[in-house]
Amino acid sequence: MRARVIVLAGPSGAGKSRLAERIGLPVLRLDDFYKSAGDPTLPVISEGANTGIVDWDDPASWLLDDAMATLDELCRSGRADVPIYDIAHDGRCGSRVLDLAGSPLFVAEGIFAQEVVPHAREADLLAAAYCVRQHPVLTFWRRLTRDLREHRKPPLVLVRRGLALLRDQRRVVGHAVALGCVPVTGDEAYAASRELARSALPR
């Protein structure tokens, strides 16, 4: 075993990506393991204003087995090929090599990050798992401004999706906690992760 993983889960817009960068460890972006548009197994929203479009907030839109295999490879060899996903075009646009460069810890973050926690714990790959949370209205606003800025989807779809996620945030956090994540603020996750990083350094 060359490394262990710190998992950052939490609602879309909670600040996981920015937090991962602040921590300063290598980062595995689990959102790059989305399925591409056109995959016949993609789930579809069946009710509400967005009926008929792909439900990108359903874990079935994401490749759990591929994400776990990559996480395993990183922990055991220190490097792995990872996909690059373009959310605006709903598909992969290439790949890259993620090299931990000898780091004993790395961060895995994404909206489905909690799904890898039971596997990582069972395989003794888990250093810690956090669910980053903040007030639902703040999460809604940050998510909407980010998605509009990055042109991820048409504005009306983003607003409708954001309102649905706002109402669903408590369930999302509860699910992550049930899978083994500790609910924390971004600052709490940062402090705990930096302490783990310091303790992992050779003495």
pLDDT over 70 (residue 163): yes
Instruction: Choose among 85, 144, 135, 74: nearest CA to 110.
Output: 85
pLDDT tens by residue, 49-62: 778 888 888 999 99
How many CB atoms sit inside 10 A of residue 94's CB? 8
pLDDT over 90 (residue 137): no
What are the CA-CA distances from residue 78 to residues 71, 102, 129 (Å)? 10, 7, 20
pLDDT tens by residue, 92-111: 999 999 999 999 999 999 99
Confidence at residue 196, expressed as pLDDT on a 0 to 100 scale: 96
What are the CA-CA distances from residue 58 to residues 22, 62, 63 (Å)? 28, 8, 11
Tokens of 2: 């060359």
Find all residues with CB under 8 Å of 129, minimum gap 6, and list them. Answer: 6, 7, 9, 114, 117, 120, 121, 179, 180, 181, 182
The CATH superfamily of 4-200 is P-loop containing nucleotide triphosphate hydrolases (3.40.50.300)
161: confidence class by pLDDT, cuts 50, 70, 90: confident
For the chain, domain boundaries: 4-200
pLDDT over 70 (residue 203): no
Give the rounded percent of residues in the chain with a pLDDT score beyond 70: 98
Given a contact cutoff of 8 angstroms between Cβ atoms, the answer to whether 133 and 168 are in contact is no
Confidence at residue 190, expressed as pLDDT on a 0 to 100 scale: 96
Alpha carbon distance 85, 177 (integer Å): 27
The tokens 């000898």 sit on which residue?
102
The tokens 């050779």 sit on which residue?
202
DSSP 8-state class, residue 54: B
Its pTM stands at 0.84
